Amino acid sequence: MRSIVYSSTGTSDVLRLVDRAIPEPGPGQVRVRMLVSGVNPTDWKRRAAQTGPSELAGDVVPDQDGAGVVDALGGGVTGLAVGDRVWIYLAQHESPEGTAQEFTVVVADKAVRLPDSVSFDVGASLGVPAMTAHRALTVHEDGPTRLAPGALAGRTVLVTGGAGAVGHAAIQLAKWAGATVITTVSSEGKAALARAAGADHVIDYTTGDPAAGIRSLAPGGVDIVVDVDIIRNVELVGAVLATRGSVAIYANSGHAATIPMRAFMGLNARLQYVLLYTVGHAALASAAADVTAAAAAGALEVGEEHGLPLTRFPLADTAAAHDAVEGGAVGKVLIDVAS
């Protein structure tokens, strides 16, 4: 089978296309014939040793997310059958076998049945972005801990960076769950994408007074913030958060932030860091179930008309796909694994 591998960390030129034997699934595992691999910032950062080990024991196949068809089952696997369409999340976490190859083996829990109505492109775009967004929307002290239609009714959600993959998924999931969604963006082009995703209100944070603009839309403050860059956004967030509000922090632009302690303490605010690798099995299982339900309902569509442009590469050009994500490509970068 064709696989993309790297045996040392570094820039994208460490990635190479090789021919490897098709792996066999062990107990509790499934083998998936990959059709589409999804690329996330965590994938190039892990390859570059920014978020993973710098020394490798052997070949590593990149990419956490993807979609395909179950090809074989290991012993003890229940709930899945050969031929099932599935989406995959965190394939490369605690394993050297990612999704940038024609067949991959994953723990059965990480292969989630993909409803027939949901495309493989959507399936490959779920994983890290949608599950991160789910966690961010379910950490408020007063709940909900699960998402479904009506679960966020009456709540106002602020999504900073609404044109990114996580921001896009957060807008879609929040709207599906009944929230009013405000998002911040840096250009009219990104504003159009956020509106296409379903945001009720879009604020260009590069002009005027974004805090005043948000407060005019939510005089009592926003209940939940899904934040892409707390180091730059901390003052804005402190100015618009409601009493007992939550701030879910899933990314940053540096290593340290100055927190306005008095503002957040006075609000009884909750600052919740979000990282899927350590979030725990229960949270992952809940996210996988709710995200699948939302996708089945048509709430997580992708493509420019839905606010998430797709940029595609063939498997042989995985290095270019990684470079596109590292370079800040707007939307979602997908790799067509199947010829």
Task: Give residue-wise pLDDT tens across range 39-74.
Answer: 999 999 999 998 878 788 899 999 999 999 999 999
Evaluate whether 253 touches 276 at the Cβ level (below 8 Å).
no
| Fold entry, domain 2-125+308-336 | Quinone Oxidoreductase; Chain A, domain 1 (3.90.180)
Q: What is the pLDDT of residue 27?
A: 98
Structure tokens at 207: 């002009």
d(CA 177, CA 160): 18
pLDDT of residue 35: 98
Q: Is the pLDDT of residue 285 over 90?
A: yes
- Let me know: does 291 contact 146? Beta carbons within 8 Å: no
Are 136 and 170 contacting, i.e. CB atoms less than 8 angstroms apart?
A: yes
pTM for this entry = 0.96
Domain with CATH 3.90.180.10 in the chain: 2-125+308-336, 130-277
Rounded average pLDDT over 180-204: 97
Class level of CATH domain 130-277: alpha beta
Statement: residue 199 has pLDDT above 90 = yes
Identify the pLDDT of residue 54: 79
On average, the pLDDT of the chain sits at 96
pLDDT number for residue 295: 98
Q: What pLDDT, on a 0 to 100 scale, did the predictor assign at position 47?
A: 96
Distance CA 220, CA 227 (A): 19
Q: Tens digit of pLDDT for each residue in 5-36?
A: 999 999 999 999 999 999 999 999 999 999 99
Q: What is the pLDDT of residue 253?
A: 82
Mean pLDDT, residues 96-119 taken together? 98
pLDDT at 231 over 80: yes
Chain Cα centroid distance, residue 138: 15
User: Does the pLDDT at position 192 exceed 80?
Assistant: yes
Taking only the tens place, the pLDDT of each residue in 72-100 is 999 999 999 999 999 999 999 889 999 99
